[in-house]
Chains A and B, each alone.
Chain A
Amino acid sequence: MIKRILIVDDSPIIHNLLRKTLENNGYEVCGDAKNGREGVELFGQLNPDLVFMDITMPIMDGLEAAKSIKTLRPQARIIMLSAMGDEEIMSQAKDLGIDIFLKKPFDDYKIISAIAKLV
């Protein structure tokens, strides 16, 4: 069961859009982090059911943050959501055990069907 979701992205626009999509579909956004380090800290505090994680972010990027989260909790569910999605990045994400990789831009269907695949 996925209910509480943490968003990790440095763009206020993405937080805004993603929050709207998730809340309209009955999910609760339990935390907003604007870089990877904040994301790891909030993950530890909030223990969310799912994390939406950007890649290019200041201080700590999304791949490094995902690695730390997977170390903290190997069964943590993470969806990468990035403007970049070439084979090299996808392969790095796969090696980290990332569940799903989505490319921006996104619409409600893309987000909700990705979450459905994890259930």
Chain B
Amino acid sequence: MEERAFLDRNEFIGRAFSTAVYDVLSTMAGLEPVEIQGENNFSDRGGKYITGAMTLAGKRSSMASIRMDSDTAALIVSYMTGIIVSEANEEDLYDGTAELVNMVCGRAKAALADSDEYFQLTSPFIVTGDNYVILYKNRIQKLEKSFRIGEGILTLELACM
């Protein structure tokens, strides 16, 4: 029974974040992300990966992260800011990804504000490189949702504690 409630809770949070990704990308960047069913959809087109992450401090802390390759990040940042894709430098990509994480988490926070899952935002951070692994301590359940954006894939991950 408790296990069921726990899964329902995660589904509830996952839906709020999924909607937030869609809302932010469509309103801020005019992009139409399409959710892909199933796991392990992370696109690997070579080059750098960019992960934007934020700790969500609430009754139960969680970690929200958005992962994509640098071409997908450049496309999103370009649509969000008007910077031409080929002219987007690393700093633009990091700032843009951090802002994207901020907006997605902010939107999800508003959606969950009146529930038990209310959380506070913290500063987003960016990890980038060619081959890194991330371990979320306490991760008891991972929620992963992937969205196709143009030719790239954006993966939203929630490490729920």
Contacts and interface: CB of A to CB of B under 8 A. Distances in A.
Interface of A: 10-11, 35, 37, 57-59
Contacts of A35: 140
B137 A11 contact: yes
B60 interface: yes
Contacts of B6: 59
Interface in B54-69: 60
A11 B161 CA distance: 13
Given A11-B137, A58-B161, A59-B60, 5 more contacts: A35-B140, A37-B2, A58-B138, A58-B140, A59-B161
B12 to A, nearest CB: 16
Nearest to B60: A58
14 contacts: A10-B137, A10-B138, A11-B137, A35-B140, A37-B2, A57-B138, A58-B60, A58-B138, A58-B140, A58-B161, A59-B6, A59-B60, A59-B140, A59-B161
Contacts of A59: 6, 60, 140, 161
Nearest to B2: A37
A57 B161 CA distance: 8
A37 to B, nearest CB: 8
Interface string B93-119: 000000000000000000000000000
Contacts of B137: 10-11
Contacts of B2: 37
Nearest to B160: A58
A37 B138 CA distance: 14
Contacts of B140: 35, 58-59
Contacts of A37: 2
A37 B140 CA distance: 13
List the 9 shortest-distance A-B pairs measured between CB atoms, nearest first. A58-B161, A58-B138, A58-B140, A10-B138, A58-B60, A59-B140, A57-B138, A10-B137, A11-B137
A59 B2 CA distance: 11
A102 B64 CA distance: 32
B17 to A, nearest CB: 18
B158 to A, nearest CB: 13
